[in-house]
Amino acid sequence: MREHLLASSPPVTSGASQPQPAGSTTISQAPSTCSATPEDGNLQFAFEIDRVPKLPDSPPHSTNQAPRRRRRSSTTSRRGSNSKSQSPNGFNNWEAFYTYYKAKIEARRRTVVEELKLEAHIAALFTPPTSYNGSERASAIDGRLFLGSACSAQDPLWLQENQITHILNVADEVGLNETVLQGSGIVYRWLSIADHCEFDIRGQFDAAFEFILSAYQLGGRVLVHCAAGVSRSATIAIAFIMHYEKLQLREALLLVREKRPFVYPNRGFFVALFNFEEELFSANSLPRTALDVHEEALA
């Protein structure tokens, strides 16, 4: 697996303590531990934020006296004669100094937390599922759209129990089982899509959307399937949700992954989804560099 693009920079470690000049104050830079749970499932992560120092809860001085000023030459003193009451760096007292820098440091800490949350989302969305045996039945994405493998499409009992009225087969190597469909009244459509990165799956979106929408207009239920229900059919389902529900790629991918955790389009299909998102929203909800953590083989 490629090096994680958004990997955090190494923590800053403090060297040996140096003696402090008289009258100076030391601000502790103790690391803190932060944990959070992303919105996309049960993924939990913990990380150390020791790149950003944490100021104490109260100023290092309770006095209102300004920090000791360095002696200036007579020339410098004359130049600064109009601002004798102002301390170095523009602060009049320690409270002002403390308040200003505490706000900046806390803002930076929040930024680091958000960056690490995004990193965790990317790791969850673009890392292959740990296991998949290919025998799982189709997953209901919502009340009308089902996503699955060829196994479900060839199971008359499952089709009847789930009231499937339309089947969209997007696998080039999986043909029609006429015995299953005979007398069922199911409407069938086949789009020949190969599961390799160079295939132009974007060119099949419009035909797929038209078929799914025709089923919706009749109040039907659609099964979209390929061989395993992992890459090709998942890409079609994600793209349709982006188009029909007006969801960005990140939201649509999270939705489908919640219902079918082992969904994992190949890299070329992910690129097509990124491009389609730009067509719809003129922007991407995830950085394109997230593709650098994509693995081509399922674990």
What is the distance between the alpha carbons of residues 222 and 208, in angstroms, rounded to a whole number?
A: 11
pLDDT at position 153 is 93
Q: Is residue 278 part of a domain?
A: yes
Identify which of 57-66, 105-114, 143-152 has the greatest average pLDDT.
143-152
Query: Do both 115 and 144 map to the same domain?
Result: no
pLDDT > 80? residue 3: no
pLDDT bracket for residue 35 (50, 70, 90): very low
What is the distance between the alpha carbons of residues 131 and 129, in angstroms, rounded to a whole number?
A: 6
Query: Is residue 108 within 8 Å of 101, Cβ to Cβ?
Result: no
Q: Is residue 239 part of a domain?
A: yes
Identify the bridge partners of residue 167 per DSSP, sorted by sequence position.
188, 223
pLDDT bracket for residue 98 (50, 70, 90): confident
**76: Cβ–Cβ under 8 A, 6 or more apart, which residues?**
none
At 197, which CATH number?
Answer: 3.90.190.10
> In terms of pTM, does the model score above 0.75?
no
Q: Is residue 172 part of a domain?
A: yes
Token pair of 149 as six digits: 């493998």
Which range has the worst mean pLDDT, 34-38, 126-130, 206-210, 255-259? 34-38
Q: Give the orientation angle of helix 249-259 with respect to helix 232-245, to 10 degrees.
A: 130
Query: Do both 172 and 254 map to the same domain?
Result: yes
What is the distance between the alpha carbons of residues 69 and 80, in angstroms, rounded to a whole number?
A: 12
- Each residue of 251-291: pLDDT tens digit? 999 899 999 988 999 999 999 999 999 999 999 988 887 77
Query: Do both 205 and 293 map to the same domain?
Result: yes
What is the distance between the alpha carbons of residues 153 and 177, in angstroms, rounded to a whole number?
A: 8
Strand, helix or coil for residue 204: helix
Query: Do both 174 and 100 map to the same domain?
Result: no
What does each C-alpha distance from 104 to 27, 82, 107 come to in angstroms?
Answer: 15, 29, 5
Active-site positions read 226
Q: Give me the domain span that covers residue 97.
A: 93-126
Long-range contact set of residues 209-215: C-beta below 8 Å, sequence gap at least 24 = 209/239, 209/240, 209/243, 209/244, 211/166, 211/168, 212/145, 212/166, 212/168, 212/240, 212/244, 213/244, 214/166, 215/144, 215/165, 215/166, 215/187
pLDDT at position 23 is 44
Higher pLDDT among residues 226 and 52, named by residue: 226
How many distinct structural domains can be found in the chain? 2
Token pair of 21 as six digits: 């000049």
Output the CA torsion sign for 68, 70, 74, 75.
negative
pLDDT bracket for residue 102 (50, 70, 90): confident
Query: Do both 288 and 150 map to the same domain?
Result: yes
- CA dihedral (223, 229, 235, 238) in degrees, to 10, reads 60
pLDDT bracket for residue 104 (50, 70, 90): confident
